[in-house]
Chain A
């Protein structure tokens, strides 16, 4: 095959970058399910079926209080959805689930059935980072799936570069830190040093169930159950791993770059 063929083939393929966010978002796989929705009002008074099946103890039913599901601890196994007899816990098929505050991931109470999606950065930070956000990624005991699906955003289909978002090779060049993994004790020092090496102002993103709360390994003594105990987190992106679309939505939401695509929904 000659260079000529290679180029011709490339030309024929045309632009392979998705239209989103200008166009519609690509569909999640039909069995994905998206974010969970919890309507505690529908719960049976005596039921706690979901509490006993959840592998990460993401669901609690404190006496006299409505059921509370913490989407930050959730690894999206859908066991709770299957066992719930009153359909109080359902899948929304919505890929959007990034939040600014940890408690915005706790679902159940009236008015709090779904995640309270992230607000954009304040104007000053938006002016700084809105059109150019350089991130340093630190994997701190991530399983390489969160990492892989972050990497995917750099491929031609997603092309993160078109939003001015880029992963850089030095913390000195970075505006923010994107953390994956529950933060093993063995990575604590490296994570802290990386954080300190970032010039201010800086932002921190906790990506995936592990980085938010420990994920499938929650409670193990070898790690810190997520990043928030060590560094202040500005954006939480749930999932195990989050679908690339969920990650992209989170980043663009933070930078207020979603525009009409968000309003259209």
Chain B
């Protein structure tokens, strides 16, 4: 579907010359981006590229219905720019990030504060949005939490039990991932990509590999693409199963909680069967996959998969059958489809608001061009819907794996990677288990990575959790939080 747009269109997992990215004066660029967002398109990535002392802005839009991506850039400028956020909430964190990373000020940004950097005493120290009134009290949680969880700070404004507003302050996990890639790829880069969010190793490593392959003008061998798709669904199965268990645990429904804790491990062990590591480290590399599965290994995988799927089916049946679970899940942490679209929500959380968006379907790359996974949607936008979408996806990932493991493509899994094309831009999206993983790579004249922008699905989705909490009892926070289960380090980079 072609339609009139000033942006240059490109397909997921491809590259184009930096010179072919249309360039406009700043005001026109922002107008163009705003116009597309106004039409309901999605902002996949929005970032700065330094040029001397000045800066250019680059926008990557996803035209989901048109199955295409669109890129454009501004001419270089310095000082400030009128914030898109004032009219388009999707740009909210991106513009804060641009300000933090490059020092240009998004004017009239309604909530301009750091995203992740330490400004003296730690990232959470600063002004929080405050609700005033005699009945109002404030609750502060974190950065260190009560369980084995990554750190983040949550600031609630409450009237009694009711949360009026939640502000989420992150940045505690900042490891300097993007900065370190500049001038690369370096020897450690691929290992860092595998640990951008350690529970999404396959998702991020695949996006990185796709981006580099696009820049090198090559594709991974088919069997490697197939293997990546297998590993991606195993990653989804493990995490979704873990999430169902955690949600059950949070409403004190122990049969499913304890069963899923174990089954999650069984899925992780299937990944370990492929590559030795439960999180998929060492499997995906630019150029292909480092390891292969022989017939014996794959049939073992197929067999153990069946057992784990049968067990998770059983554990889920208990969950859906329990009235006590339903009453706790239904109407809790509700998010409207309209809000979800406005903030650019992605992944299962978006699909649980009835939004039909899934990179595997809208922007298929790799093996997903040949084998589709149906999009799982549930309309209600509450904890129940988010749990339900996970369960639908578990079943569909299971079906996908069964089908794929019965029709193994032949061939190599690794090819050598040619040099990266200089002055080129590549975009790679992958539907990780939390949603859209977006990597944008830009090379300089020397063919080295000049700018590398990573957007974990959590970057879009934390705002969704904050909105879902409005009007909820504060005691429902853990349940709502688990129903999103977002990444801290993927956000903090």
Of chain A, the residue at the smallest CB distance from B194 is A216
A141 to B143, CA, bound (A): 11
A145 to B277, CA, bound (A): 11
B188 and A142 within 8 A (CB) = no
A33 and B276 within 8 A (CB) = yes
Q: Is B176 in contact with chain A by the CB < 8 A criterion?
A: yes
Report the stretch among B34-42, B148-156, B465-473 that lies at the interface. Answer: B148-156
Q: How many residues of B contact A (CB 8 A)?
A: 62
A69 to B255, CA, bound (A): 45
A79 to B224, CA, bound (A): 20
Q: Which residues of B contact A106 (CB under 8 A)?
A: none
Q: Which residues of B contact A1 (CB under 8 A)?
A: 317-318, 321
B489 and A142 within 8 A (CB) = yes
Report which B residues bind A (CB closer than 8 A).
Answer: 116, 118, 121-123, 143-144, 146-151, 171-177, 179-180, 187-188, 190-192, 194-199, 201, 242, 255, 258-259, 261-262, 264-265, 269, 272-279, 281-282, 291, 314, 317-318, 321, 487-489, 492
| Given A190-B144, A241-B279, also A148-B199 (CB < 8 A) | yes
A154 and B261 within 8 A (CB) = yes
B199 and A29 within 8 A (CB) = no
Having A141-B172, A155-B264, A186-B122, one finds 4 other A-B pairs with CB under 8 Å, namely: A142-B150, A156-B262, A217-B177, A217-B192
B188 and A155 within 8 A (CB) = no
Of chain B, the residue at the smallest CB distance from A181 is B173
Report the stretch among A40-48, A218-226, A228-236 that lies at the interface. Answer: A218-226
B175 and A167 within 8 A (CB) = no
A6 and B262 within 8 A (CB) = no
A-B contact pairs, 18 of them (CB 8 A): A10-B255, A29-B277, A31-B272, A31-B273, A31-B291, A77-B282, A139-B173, A142-B173, A145-B198, A145-B279, A151-B148, A156-B262, A190-B144, A190-B151, A217-B176, A217-B177, A217-B188, A220-B175
Q: Which one of B122, B150, B275, B291 contacts A147 once the chains associate, using CB atoms below 8 Å?
A: B150
The interface centre, meaning the residue of A9, A30, A141, A243 with most chain B CB atoms within 10 A of its CB, is: A141
Of chain A, the residue at the smallest CB distance from B239 is A148
A155 and B258 within 8 A (CB) = yes
Report which A residues bind B (CB closer than 8 A).
Answer: 1, 6, 9-10, 16, 29-33, 53-56, 75-78, 136-152, 154-157, 167, 169-170, 181-182, 184-187, 189-190, 194, 215-218, 220-223, 240-241, 243-244
| Given A77-B282, A145-B201, A220-B176, also A189-B151 (CB < 8 A) | no
User: Closest Cβ of chain A: how far from B201's Cβ, in Å?
Assistant: 7
B195 and A143 within 8 A (CB) = yes
A222 and B174 within 8 A (CB) = yes
Q: Which one of A146, A182, A184 contacts B198 once the chains associate, using CB atoms below 8 Å?
A: A146
B277 and A32 within 8 A (CB) = yes
Q: Which residues of A contact B171 (CB under 8 A)?
A: 186
Q: Which residues of B contact A156 (CB under 8 A)?
A: 258-259, 261-262
A76 to B321, CA, bound (A): 44
Q: Which one of B149, B173, B258 contacts A186 once the chains associate, using CB atoms below 8 Å?
A: B173
A157 and B265 within 8 A (CB) = yes
Q: Which residues of A contact B180 (CB under 8 A)?
A: 217, 220
B173 and A187 within 8 A (CB) = yes
> What 7 A-B pairs have minimum CB-CB distances, sorted nearest first?
A143-B198, A31-B276, A145-B198, A155-B261, A169-B146, A222-B176, A29-B272
The interface centre, meaning the residue of B175, B262, B488 with most chain A CB atoms within 10 A of its CB, is: B175
User: Closest Cβ of chain A: how far from B220's Cβ, in Å?
Assistant: 19
Of chain B, the residue at the smallest CB distance from A82 is B290
B261 and A32 within 8 A (CB) = no
B150 and A55 within 8 A (CB) = no
A221 and B176 within 8 A (CB) = yes
A194 to B242, CA, bound (A): 28
User: Closest Cβ of chain B: how far from A35's Cβ, in Å?
Assistant: 13
A137 and B281 within 8 A (CB) = no
A170 to B147, CA, bound (A): 9
Of chain B, the residue at the smallest CB distance from A222 is B176
User: Closest Cβ of chain A: how far from B303's Cβ, in Å?
Assistant: 16
